[in-house]
Amino acid sequence: MSARRLGPRVFLAVGLLAAGLAAAPAAALRPKLVHAEDFSKAGALDETFWQVETGFFRNKEAQYYQPVNVFVRGGLLLLEGRREPAENAAYDPKSTDWLTATKSADYTSGSIVSREPFTYGIVEVVARLPQAKGTWPAIWTIWEHGGVYREIDMVEAVGNDPGKVWSTVHAGYDLDSLTHWQVETPLPDVDKAFHTYRLEWRPDAIVISIDGKTVQHLDPEAAHKDGHDPLRARMQLRINLALGGSWGGAIEETALPARIEIKSIKVWHFDP
């Protein structure tokens, strides 16, 4: 989610396994279910697990995130992007940072992030993603609290480039020095059918699958250098619907509101 579709610095990573596995072997890891939400039964988002974001955040996106855009209806968790004005609560007329220098937005949307970070585990989300022009839905993990940058994009879809999704791993000292491993997967019915997006993150492998088919397989050792091991460090889970921005592009207002629709979310942690 930190970057647009990537250019020559990208490495296609299906089947990539670097030498030098670290920490506990995969056979010694036992998944333990730590969180489950079935929205056919739940009447609301579990806010003991999630924070609902408010404000502008990244990529100079057009939307202002607000809690009212995240709700459960008809057996689904909805993150809804709308054409409507919103005032920026963090506005500072003296600021030179667009996050706080922007007084208001013409669009709103929804974003949730796990309260607690985790290192290694399984995430499974059953969702239908929008394909309206200008929409940029994502299910991903990230660490934004200092130290070496790391991010695992389980799935991103861009309405201006429909019928496909991307799964990407990013790691580096900062946003200007990232290495990227990205895979493009055809998915013509991404906005019509529910698909199961799954991440299995272990010390020896990052495996992303769609409907049980592996689309991305990377050894975290590929990012281990100069004493930094970013893909074996904690991250938080995030799900959001961006509008516009550096990759989302021009927004088709007549297609709004647009929604990420989620049937269920499950999270396992690994017990050694």
Fold exhibited by the domain 10-271: Jelly Rolls (2.60.120)
Q: Are 184 and 203 contacting, i.e. CB atoms less than 8 angstroms apart?
A: no
pTM (2 d.p.): 0.91
- Position 25 scores a pLDDT of 53
Task: Provide, rounded to the nearest whole percent, the portion of the chain with pLDDT above 90.
Answer: 79
Residues 6+ apart with CB under 8 A from 266: 33, 35, 36, 37, 122, 123, 124, 125
Q: Which of 41-45, 143-147, 172-176, 201-205 has the lowest mean pLDDT?
A: 172-176
Instruction: Label residue 192 exposed, middle or buried (CB < 10 Å: 0-12, 13-18, 19+).
Output: exposed
Q: How far, in whole angstroms, is CA 132 from its chain's centroid?
A: 18
Q: Is residue 18 a contact partner of residue 221, using CB atoms and an 8 Å limit?
A: yes
Q: Domain coordinates of the chain in residue numbers?
A: 10-271
- Residue 157: closest CA among 112, 200, 192, 207: 192
Q: How far apart are CA 25 and CA 178, in angstroms?
A: 27
Residue reference for tokens 């988002």: 45
pLDDT digits (tens, 9 = 90+) for 148-169: 999 999 999 999 999 999 999 9
